[in-house]
Chains A and B, each alone.
Chain A
Amino acid sequence: ALSPQKKWAKRHLSWRVRTFPKESAVLGRETVRALMYYALKVWSDITPLNFHEVAGNKADIQIDFTKADHNDGYPFDGPGGTVAHAFFPGERFTAGDTHFDDDEAWTFRSPDSHGMDLFAVAVHEFGHAIGLAHTSAIESIMRPYYQGPVGDPLKYDLPYEDKVRVWQLYGVRDSVSHTARPDASSHTDDPPVLMDLPENKSTVPPARDAPDRCTSQFDAVAQIRGEAFFFKGKYFWRLTRDRHLVSLRPTQIQRFWRGLPANLDSIDAVYERPGDHKIVFFKGMKYWVFKDNIVEEGYPRLISDFGLPIEGVDAAFVWMHNDKTYFFKDNHYWRYDDHLRHMDQGYPKDTSLWKGIPSQLDDAMRWSDSASYFFKGKEYWRVVGSDMEVEAGYPRPIGIDWLICKDMQSDAPETRNNETGSQLTGQHHTDHAENGYEVCSCTS
């Protein structure tokens, strides 16, 4: 391999696709952006690096699709031959910049014979952009020669050889176990983010009956692919993995979750199934299973499949402590094993075993802080790790902590002092929505 290259001193790097493939018949702009996002994520998942997409010309990693001689000393040569390159960190203006030959037939999820897999090449080039040089190691993604598609971007696992080399440059990301060998390591548990974000809110005028997030009592709440979804009536709000509300305006469930009956007026509970990351929706005695945001064939089915009574469920969530699925109805709860697909013996039990949790929950969910959250009315309760007792200082208001509501409405439960008598000190987000500002957050 080349002598070790320079590396980035900073850990937060911005990126932007400045020019897109001109004639690509198969790759739209959104797909190109998504593939760049996932190719960068391959490296940020295992190192302390963080990538975020920006607009404008100041991005650290400017991505271009260009042809022939494009004035950087590395002219392309038409179809085949050289297909892409990237500049190492530290090389003045071009550091990190990545160029793809627009004379190539760039593809995504196509068999090898049909062109050049953009995701595979992008992972390689971004390896250069963060400082890795070519290597002769047969397994490595940093071999100079194109070796065909590398499979599903959502499941791609870097060869161990490349992990070690990039750890030598930047160290290991805290949450990564760097002792697991590739053969032993299961695929990263990091569930894939749902690819399509809801349509741009500004193109879909809010309907009259859209609920208000600060005064609502939610029907269902779930962590789906690392993001939080709050369902109310025919609508839902979405929060990114770092708890940023994607939009103040709710999105219609029907517009995003494809395949639910058109007359469905609300949801009872939702959870993401461990193992295959499919998403299960409950309403009354029926349930639907979604792969990503599209319902699978053969649904709805009856919840008796789980061994649950047909009265339906109030809440469903997967406890991170044992990866079991818990269903709640009134003041009973069941424990179900989604890996073996059967109800555990000795259930239902009384919800009082979960000390401090109210009965008749609206829903429950696990969150990436390894805690479990229980929702009822406008409040929520937090249970840490493997405890079965509510943490001190709860309940707290959902709106203030999750949905950027400044002051709860008059009819909301007043912000009580918690046990220590101190005034609630939750995160105070100033909500500009009322005075004409739009609060928005970047989600990629």
Chain B
Amino acid sequence: APSLTTEQMDMGVDWLSKFGYLPPADPVTGQLQTKEALTKAIKAMQRFGGLEETGVFDQATLGLMKTPRCSLPDMSETETTSSRRRR
């Protein structure tokens, strides 16, 4: 996939957090998302959206992220944090 701009990466990470695929970055440590968590979150979003699970912000994924949608998250807090706990 063509290399992403920082802006696209930031938009993607914000989007994943907004709709429940990524737990928000830890406000205390400011700990950023691990690469593995990000890949996992992208795959979950692609699965939910019926896309091929590449684990990267490819064109189809960025396109779907721009589609008008409902504000409510697709994953509940519990699900996101439980997957982190499981890890």
Contacts and interface: CB of A to CB of B under 8 A. Distances in A.
Contacts of A136: 47-50, 74
B48 A82 contact: no
Nearest to B75: A2
Contacts of A145: 49, 64, 67-69
Interface residues of A, number: 24
A128 B72 contact: yes
Interface string A384-414: 0000000000000000000000000000000
Interface residues of B, number: 19
Given A80-B66, A136-B50, A74 B75 contact: no
Interface string A324-366: 0000000000000000000000000000000000000000000
Given A136-B47, A136-B48, A138-B50, A146 B76 contact: no
B28 interface: no
Interface stretch (A32-40, A48-56, A83-91, A204-212): A83-91
Contact of A3 (B50, B73, B76): B76
A121 B68 CA distance: 11
A134 B74 contact: yes
A134 B72 contact: yes
A3 B81 CA distance: 13
A82 B49 contact: no
A86 B64 CA distance: 21
A83 B79 contact: no
B78 A146 contact: no
A371 B78 CA distance: 53
Contact of B70 (A3, A80, A125): A125
Given A138-B50, A144-B19, A145-B49, A80 B74 contact: no
Contacts of B64: 145
Contacts, number: 65
A80 B75 contact: no
A99 to B, nearest CB: 8
Contacts of A138: 50
B71 interface: yes
B69 A146 contact: yes
Contacts of A81: 66, 68-69
A202 to B, nearest CB: 40
Nearest to A146: B68
Contacts of A86: 72
B74 A83 contact: no
Nearest to A83: B68
Name the residue among A76, A86, A138, A145 with the largest chain B CB count within 10 angstroms.
A145
A256 B67 CA distance: 42
A145 to B, nearest CB: 5
A86 B74 CA distance: 13
Contacts of A128: 70, 72
A146 B67 contact: yes
Given A3-B78, A133-B76, A84 B71 contact: yes
Given A3-B78, A136-B48, A136-B50, A85 B72 contact: yes
Interface in A163-211: none
Contacts of A213: none
Chain B CB count within 10 A is highest, among A81, A124, A128, for: A81
A116 interface: yes
A178 to B, nearest CB: 27
A326 B55 CA distance: 66
A351 B73 CA distance: 64
A325 B69 CA distance: 47
A84 B69 CA distance: 7
11 contacts: A2-B79, A80-B66, A81-B68, A82-B68, A82-B70, A83-B70, A128-B70, A136-B49, A138-B50, A144-B72, A145-B68
Nearest first, the 8 A-B pairs at minimum CB distance are A85-B71, A82-B71, A146-B68, A136-B48, A74-B71, A2-B76, A134-B74, A145-B67
Given A81-B69, A83-B68, A104-B68, 9 more contacts: A2-B73, A3-B78, A74-B71, A74-B72, A82-B71, A133-B76, A138-B50, A144-B19, A144-B72
